[in-house]
A and B are shown apart, each in its own frame.
Chain A
Amino acid sequence: MNSKMSKLVAVLLALMLVVAFLPACAQEEPAEEPAEEPVTEEPVEPVLKTAMVTDVGGLGDKSFNDLAYEGLKKAEADLNVEIQVLESKEITDYESNIDQLASAGYSPIFAVGFLMTDAVAKMAPEYPDTQFGGVDEFFEEVPPNVVGLLFKEQEGSYLAGVVAGLATLDTFDDKLNGDNVIGFVGGMDIPLIKKFEAGFTAGAKAVNPDVKVIALYAGNFTDQAKGKELGLSLIEQKADVIYAAAGAVGSGTIQACQERGALFIGVDADQYLTVPGSGDVMLTSMMKRVDVAVYDTIKAVIDGSFPGGELQVFGLAEGGVDLAPYHDFEDKVPQAIKDAVEKARADIIAGTIVVPES
């Protein structure tokens, strides 16, 4: 009886583990997607096989992982390439995911997220014939088969700061109060996120020197409930425009803005489109065009101009960062604010304004 029982337990637990890892299998699906029956045309041999490894946020983060995937999908449609995605559930998955793709002949492989920098630096020399694109990854010495894809987040955030700094003085929406305070919600206090904060603060102070910018950090990129509490705290401090560079944490902040009445500036994607039902508070978004960087890199590989061994920096001038449309606020935002944004954009591109990184 006893041994029979323990066997049953073993089987049960094994079954649980199988079910637990089902999603990992489910994600393999996109590879064998177009299995439709009668193919009339000769299937065209893909030009190359390209792949990406997501950060722990994974697909569906409505942020840089999804954006990188957008770039891949665009390349699949336009450039006739085969694409594949491996999701990292743990930091320890990075190397094995890269290894798996590289040994399966994928190139270029995009490693998305600064956390993967060391994994890329370690794996690139092992696969010298494979090309790597490191999104948000800074290398002291870039390996010859790697390109680091970096963004001037501070430049786009500067524009967001200009909007917020002028909006808090204005009254074009009833959620704007009379106090000269705006807020920033950061994910983790790391140099990357500091670039968002520094640009935002600089932009706001440039157009509104007396504005008080309160910056709060969640300590992670996933805890929405914390994001809501941070938003509520900022609103209690009279902030009426809040900019969040915090991944999924920002969704909680949007909820706080909707409940207590404040405007929100999204990040990475045009969050008006990616967060349904947020239109009543979504003033604009600071877009980081990871999709553009990924697509351009795939194109460069096909053209034979892969900039291996280099760091490529995408700023306002390169179309790597920009402000999203105002959408529902298009008619409300005064022309003076739109003009100020255009002027700041022109000055940054011309180099007359240099936005600080920290």
Chain B
Amino acid sequence: MLGDIITPDLFASALRMATPLALAAIGGTLCERSGVVNIALEGIMLTGAFFGTAAVLATGNPWIGVGAAMLSGVAISAIHAFASVNLRADQVVSGTAINLLALGVTGFLMELWYGHPGTTASIQVLRPIFSFSSPGGGFLAEAWRWVNGIVFSHTPIVYFTIILAVVAQWAMYRTKWGLHLRALGEHPRAVDTVGVSVYRGRWVAVLMSGALAGLAGANLTIEQVGSFTENMTNGRGFIALAANIFGRWTPVGSYLASLLFGFADALQIKLQILRDVITVPPQFFLMLPYVLTVIVLAGVIGRAVAPAAVGEPYKKG
């Protein structure tokens, strides 16, 4: 019975489902550390998912699709950067506008380019990097099934995300760029005083978050499902925002928080298999990830303190 739930695929599934969340969450971390709230992650992810798919449909090359997804994420986040940094608009309003814009533009372009709404045709997807055959029988084979399933069964962006979390963490706390980034969100005037441009620093951070959220969209379409459907991100951008907060605005924290959400989701799927044994309605399992989100955000895990100047437009003085 427990063997049905605790399988290599439970953990592999958690890693897969954590990846789009983590990419967007790390993007959100970079953005918010620089002092710009980014609730547009959902819309940027959707934009990346769409343009990634469109590029693969046009060229047949999934890697070009990944590039297009990131570029489109950068492009749409530039609107957010311009509105919130240069124009000093309310960042929540600007982010909401981008979420609406992304939903509208992707739906509109679907009609325009493919002549129908809904779902696009299937595309060439990125395959798992490794493909090992399993050795002989016995205990070794069983152990290998676990290692292979959990560690070696993944597509490129899944591995990239883990590396990214570590590198971003290092960059944020061990480099001059990271110091400036953190200062931008805590005390932008201090950064300005030492002669570093606040506008430039925030622009870079917002565009980076756009590239990462766009990559999250590419993971959904070019690695996971192989087609684009309107509004397919299904609220993942907002869960990523929660993961960023739960991870206390750090890249590794964001990754681990996303992994927890991914694990909760993977676990609820496996628990449904036992519905005949434990008579609980499936809605109970389905709500697990959301219950977890509420508990986390209610602060059971401890108080999370946002960057002091997050959400505050900076005016050159």
User: Which residue numbers of A lie inside 8 Å of B, CB to CB?
Assistant: 5-6, 8-9, 12-13, 16-17, 19-23, 26-27, 58-62, 66, 87, 189, 214-217, 219-220, 222-230, 232-233, 236-237, 248, 251-252, 255, 275-278
Contact = CB atoms under 8 A, between A and B. Distances in A.
Contacts of B231: 222
Given A5-B87, A13-B97, 17 more contacts: A12-B87, A13-B94, A16-B79, A17-B97, A19-B101, A20-B103, A22-B105, A60-B116, A61-B118, A216-B272, A216-B282, A219-B286, A230-B269, A232-B13, A248-B119, A251-B227, A255-B225
Interface string B290-305: 0000000000000000
A277 B93 contact: no
A214 B111 contact: no
Given A12-B83, A13-B94, A22-B108, A233 B13 contact: yes
Interface band, chain B? 35 or more
8 tightest Cβ-Cβ pairs between the two chains A and B: A60-B118, A60-B117, A20-B104, A219-B286, A20-B100, A23-B107, A224-B225, A9-B89
B9 interface: yes
A61 B231 CA distance: 12
B108 A26 contact: yes
B224 interface: yes
Contacts of B103: 20
Contact of A58 (B83, B97, B118): B118
Contacts of B225: 224-225, 227-228, 251-252, 255
Contact of B234 (A19, A215, A222): A222
Instruction: Indicate the member of A20, A219, A222, A237 with the most B CB atoms within 10 Å.
Output: A20
Contact of B97 (A16, A229, A248): A16
Contacts of B104: 19-23
B226 interface: yes
B312 interface: no
A222 B235 CA distance: 11
28 contacts: A16-B101, A17-B97, A19-B101, A19-B108, A21-B104, A23-B108, A23-B117, A26-B108, A26-B112, A59-B118, A60-B117, A62-B118, A87-B117, A215-B272, A215-B275, A216-B269, A216-B272, A216-B282, A219-B283, A222-B234, A224-B232, A227-B225, A228-B225, A230-B269, A237-B273, A251-B229, A255-B122, A255-B125
